[in-house]
Structure 1
Amino acid sequence: MRLTRPMLALTGAVAVLALSACGAGGDDEAKAPETATGSLEQLAAKAKCDPNMQTDADEIRQAICTTGKDKYILATFATDRGQAEWLSGAKDYGGYYLVGRKWVAVGQEKTVTALQGKLGGTMEEGSEHMNPGGSHNKGGHHS
C-alpha cells in the first residue's frame, strides 16, 4: 500500500483529534534521557506501552499506544525526509509532538511530556489555530 503525504497528514490529524479526549498520566519532571532509537516495537517497549498497529508500510509504521489511561500515537519513519514531511502536514492540526530521530509520538501535552522522561526527544507543538489553550494561544488571541 502506497501512502501519500495527504493521507499521512490526515492520519496524524485524525489521531490527534481522537486522542484529545483521552486522559493524561502523572507528572514526570525528571531530566529527559538520551533520545531513544530503534524500531516501533523497541520504542514501545522502552515506553512501556501496548502498541496497536494502525499502519505498517515501508515509509511509515504507526501504532496507537496505551499506557494505563494514557493513549498516544507512536510512529516510526524509514527516512528523515519522510518524518519531516509528515510532521509538516500533521502540525497543521495542532497537538503535541515528541520528536526523535525517525520517530514521533503524538498526544496530549501531559502524556507526551511524561513520555519524554522515557524516550527523550524534543517537544514540539502544532498549529495555534487547531490547539486551543496551547502555549501559542497565551498571547490573548481569541476567536
Structure 2
Amino acid sequence: MRLTRPTLAAAAAAAVLTLAGCASGDGGDRAAEVPSTATGSLESLAAAVKCAPDIQTDADEIRQAICKNPDGKFVLATFATDRGQREWINEAKDYGGFYLVGRKWVAVGDDGVVTALRGTLGGAVEIGTDHSEHTS
C-alpha cells in the first residue's frame, strides 16, 4: 500500500497531538506535586512544616526565625511588604543558598531542605550566587 503525502501529513499531525497530550499530562502531574503557595504568619507557616520557630528578629518590617524540623535547619522570614521581601532576597542571594519564596515570606536552607519545604508550603525556588569558583 502506497501512502500519499496528505495521509503522511495526517498521520504526523496525529502523532504530534498524541505526544503533546502526553507531555501536557506529565506537566500537570508535576504541577500537582507542588501545593498552592501558603500564606500566613511566621507562626502559622512554621506550624505547617512542624517547626517551633526560634524568633531572632521581631520588627515591623520583618520577622525572622531559625527553624528545625525532620528535614533540617532553615531560616523562615515574613515581611510586611512585597518590596521589603524582594529587597531582602536580592541582598541575601549574594551570599548563595537556596530560597523558597512565597507571598511575603521566604525560607532559606540547603537544597534538600528547601525542596522538602516546597512540598508543604508551595512557592518558587530561587538560587543565590554560586561562589564555588572563588574558593582556593
Bigger shift: 88-97 or 66-75?
A: 66-75
**Alignment equivalent of 1:46, drawn from 33, 45, 48:** 48
Structure 1 residues 69, 36: CA separation in 2 closer, same or farther (over 3 Å shift)? closer
Which residue of structure 2 aligns with residue 12 of structure 1? none
CA distance in 1, matches of 2:62, 2:103: 13
Of 81, 86, 89, the residue aligned with 1:87 is 89
TM-score, scaled relative to structure 2: 0.73
Helix, strand or coil at the partner of 1:128: coil
**Inter-partner Cα distance in structure 1 for 2:107 and 2:120:** 12
Indicate the residue corresponding to 1:106 in structure 2: 108
Out of 30, 34, 37, the residue aligned to residue 35 of structure 1 is: 37
Higher helix share: 2
Matched, 1:128 2:135: no
Q: 2: distance between equivalents of 1:75 and 1:108? A: 15
Amino acid at match of 2:60: D
Deviations 1:56-111 (A, max 9, x none): 00000000011036100000000000001000100000000000000000000000
Residue equivalent to 1:116: 118
CA distance in 1, matches of 2:71, 2:105: 22
CA RMSD of aligned residues (A): 1.8
Q: Distance in 2 between matches of 1:45 and 1:67?
A: 10
Q: For residue 33 of structure 2, give the secondary structure of its aligned residue in structure 1.
A: coil
User: Using the alignment, how far apart are the partners of 2:109 and 2:119 within structure 1?
Assistant: 15
Count of aligned residue pairs for this structure pair: 105
Gaps of 5+ in 1: 1-29
Residue number in structure 2 paired with 1:76: 78
- Given the two structures, how large is their TM-score scaled by the length of structure 1? 0.69
